[in-house]
Chains A and B, each alone.
Chain A
Amino acid sequence: MTTVAAKPAAVAAKPATMAQALGRALHDAMAEDPAVHVMGEDVGTLGGVFRVTDGLAREFGDDRCTDTPLAEAGILGTAVGMAMYGLRPVVEMQFDAFAYPAFEQLVSHVARMRNRTKGRMPLPLTVRVPYGGGIGGVEHHSDSSEAYYMATPGIHVVTPATVADAYGLLRESIASDDPVVFLEPKRLYWSKADWNPEHPLAVEPIGRAVVRRPGRSATLITYGPSVPVCLEAAEAARAEGWDLEVVDLRSLVPFDDETVCASVRRTGRAVVVHESGGFGGPGGEIAARVTERCFHHLEAPVLRVTGFDIPYPPPMLERHHLPGVDRVLDAVARLQWEAES
């Protein structure tokens, strides 16, 4: 489906944050469909620790935007039951690492219910998870947990990198009849863009990557919090004579082989960039898929720029862990350019 503006109005675009766009998406989904229920820790009176749900309890009542007991398995488990009865729950996990207690419910029930019942009882629910680092969070507040979710068949894994996508992808996720783990890049919550909330952009269905920046020299394949890093790296690379293409995956599951491979076949070189650790991380799967499908177009091995394979570091050291512009450019430099000359 495509999202539709709630009501047309002559409101000019003005700067909005990703957090505001997410909140607006929740608001519009709740206004449009009485089955949509928001639930989680501190989502009601407080409006969420990131203020994404600000105002929802006031407008829709605390039965539609519910402060739950502090228990993530219970939150997701009860959301499963609500979805079984025909509601469309949107669960907020307060932080990436606090979502782990809900992992059994996600893996053993959320991801399997459609399959287990041969399609008779799908579970339309969305699990919003703030993820990633770069905000100076102390231990357990900065994990990149997407590889765990990607390894679980039956759920979609979606992550926005722009204000407009935050709105559009969240609307699409809530409207989906499949469960979605919606990963929100924490450090982009306060990123701003000119955005007209009265005319939210229609977006393509979940599962389509987008070329954020066209280029001819090499493809940077990335998502979520690393998209701005790659765009910045692409600008910096112009000085080196490289014209880099940046592909924003937007959806890790389903994975858009078509867009990614079309880009790599054009450029002949690829670097995958993400915060998550490299070993067993999304980049390994992506590099393998690209290599299997584009081998004869490749001028160099597909490289990965990732976080180190370490527990997430304390905030005063996290800048050494997070893939930055320099590390991306170093990888680009290793794409065997000498073969061309």
Chain B
Amino acid sequence: MKSRSLTVMDQRGAYRPAPPPAWQPRTDPAPLLPDAEPYRVLGTEAARKAEPGLLRRLYAELVRGRRYNAQATALTKQGRLAVYPSSTGQEACQVAAALALEDRDWLFPSYRDTLAAIARGLDPVQALSLLRGDWHTGYDPREHRIAPLCTPLATQLPHAVGLAHAARLKGDDVVALAMVGDGGTSEGDFHEALNFAAVWQAPVVFLVQNNGFAISVPLAKQTAAPSLAHKAVGYGMPGRLVDGNDAVALHEVLTDAVRHARAGGGPTLVEAVTYRIDAHTNADDATRYRHDEEVEAWRRHDPIALVERELTERGLLDEDAVREARENAEAMAADLRARMNQEPRLDPMDLFAHVYAEPTSQLHEQAAQLRAELAAEAPDIPDIADTPDTAGTTPDIADTTLKGTGR
């Protein structure tokens, strides 16, 4: 905003004098309220209007996603992943989040959201770097418009708000979609991110995957809110409550929210009601805090089965299509398995190369120490780069694509 001709007191958001009795609700809360029941499409009349192409795409992605979760979990048992937080049962959330975004938009995933990143096009091996442990972020966030997988809960949400705000200041119609779990909604950063987003009317969509548990703690111990979607109203943004296993409903709600944000309508909070079929991670034992009957009940509300039933009832899914989806998923799993079974290339000197643009004298000394230790084990270890951290230059503000590595 150009305000050189204005005084400070004329600026947007500046104090406005008002007579004492003039108080009134500044925003009518009614349009912001979520539905009483989670929004559903599959299994209702509205499902008949779903595009066959979209249904087939969702089906293929969900099948692939389920296979990916199984393969990643298997890799933990083979010692190829340090840990894996599975999104089995939550594939509809993962896939719909990815498909709702345009190429120029940004995804802000948490550690459980590798599938969303993969559905957006990221190589699974790169997505799994964090969980394999060969580095923290195995991909270029700017190349893929996918922020690093975030482990500290909800701390990526203000990043999404800031990025979306910056894009809007630059005049780019970029939307950020940030993913968080039900436990994450208790964090202060969740509150601050939603507040900033609403005040700034930033083009952000917050997707809460309410999978019922924060490790072992059920939602009832997490919040007393009517629903997590209701939290939106307090910030002055719409809250939407959706069946998180209904890929078509989620795709519609998220696509609407993204379109709304892109058009300047501000942020939306979407609560997807779903269920974490597996334990928190492979290292967790879910039988200590929940009953199998509950898990089985949710298995009967399976996101893949819901889409499959709709496709079958409309005669859109023949045996060939089913086989093709499974074969594609198997091919992905086989490729992932093969590549994860190769030892990653590790360079211990990377430990010092990317701490600062130029390593400090202290880091040079410590790198020399490690190099000497390594030389005792094996020769030919390269030196820490004496040149600046060239991969890490800042993109020029005029670079609207932000695809390059920098100026």
* Residues of A bordering B, CB below 8 Å: 34-35, 37, 44-45, 57-59, 61-63, 67-69, 71, 73-74, 76-89, 101, 104-105, 108-109, 112-122, 124, 153-154, 156, 176-178, 207, 253-255, 257-258
Q: Does B173 interact with chain A (Cβ within 8 Å)?
A: no
Give me 16 A-to-B residue pairs in the complex whose CB atoms sit less than 8 angstroms apart, sorted by A's number. Answer: A35-B397, A62-B13, A82-B166, A85-B166, A85-B402, A86-B170, A101-B188, A108-B155, A114-B389, A115-B354, A117-B140, A118-B354, A120-B137, A120-B143, A121-B392, A177-B394
Choose among A86, A89, A116 the residue that contacts B396 (Cβ–Cβ < 8 A). A86
Choose among B8, B14, B355 the residue that contacts A114 (Cβ–Cβ < 8 A). B355
Contacts of B11 in A (CB 8 A): 44-45, 57, 61-62
- Cβ–Cβ contact B392 & A119, under 8 A: yes
Q: Binary interface profile of B, 151-179, with partner A (CB < 8 Å = 1, else 0)?
A: 01001011111111111011000001000
Complex-state Cα separation, A83 to B199, whole angstroms: 20
Say yes or no: A68-B196 contact (C-beta < 8 A), given A45-B9, A61-B11, A82-B162. yes
Contacts between the two chains (Cβ within 8 Å), count:
199
- Cβ–Cβ contact B161 & A81, under 8 A: yes
Complex-state Cα separation, A115 to B165, whole angstroms: 25
- Cβ–Cβ contact A84 & B357, under 8 A: no
Choose among A57, A68, A87, A124 the residue that contacts B8 (Cβ–Cβ < 8 A). A57
Contacts of B353 in A (CB 8 A): 118-119
Complex-state Cα separation, A2 to B406, whole angstroms: 21
Q: Does B1 interact with chain A (Cβ within 8 Å)?
A: yes
Choose among B1, B157, B166, B362 the residue that contacts A255 (Cβ–Cβ < 8 A). B362
Complex-state Cα separation, A267 to B91, whole angstroms: 68
Choose among B2, B3, B163, B350 the residue that contacts A118 (Cβ–Cβ < 8 A). B350
Closest residue of chain A to B152 (Cβ to Cβ) is A108
- Cβ–Cβ contact B13 & A69, under 8 A: no
Contacts of A34 in B (CB 8 A): 397
- Cβ–Cβ contact B195 & A84, under 8 A: no
Residue with the highest number of chain B CB atoms closer than 10 Å, among A35, A78, A109:
A78
Choose among B8, B155, B167 the residue that contacts A109 (Cβ–Cβ < 8 A). B155
- Cβ–Cβ contact B159 & A109, under 8 A: yes
Contacts of B397 in A (CB 8 A): 34-35, 86-87
- Using a Cβ–Cβ cut-off of 8 Å, how many residues does chain B contribute to the interface with A? 65
Say yes or no: A121-B141 contact (C-beta < 8 A), given A62-B3, A81-B158. yes
Q: Does B341 interact with chain A (Cβ within 8 Å)?
A: no
Choose among B135, B361, B394 the residue that contacts A122 (Cβ–Cβ < 8 A). B394
Contacts of A255 in B (CB 8 A): 360, 362
Q: Does B148 interact with chain A (Cβ within 8 Å)?
A: yes
- Cβ–Cβ contact B160 & A119, under 8 A: no
Complex-state Cα separation, A71 to B158, whole angstroms: 11
- Cβ–Cβ contact A154 & B356, under 8 A: yes
Choose among B162, B195, B389, B395 the residue that contacts A81 (Cβ–Cβ < 8 A). B162
- Cβ–Cβ contact A73 & B357, under 8 A: no
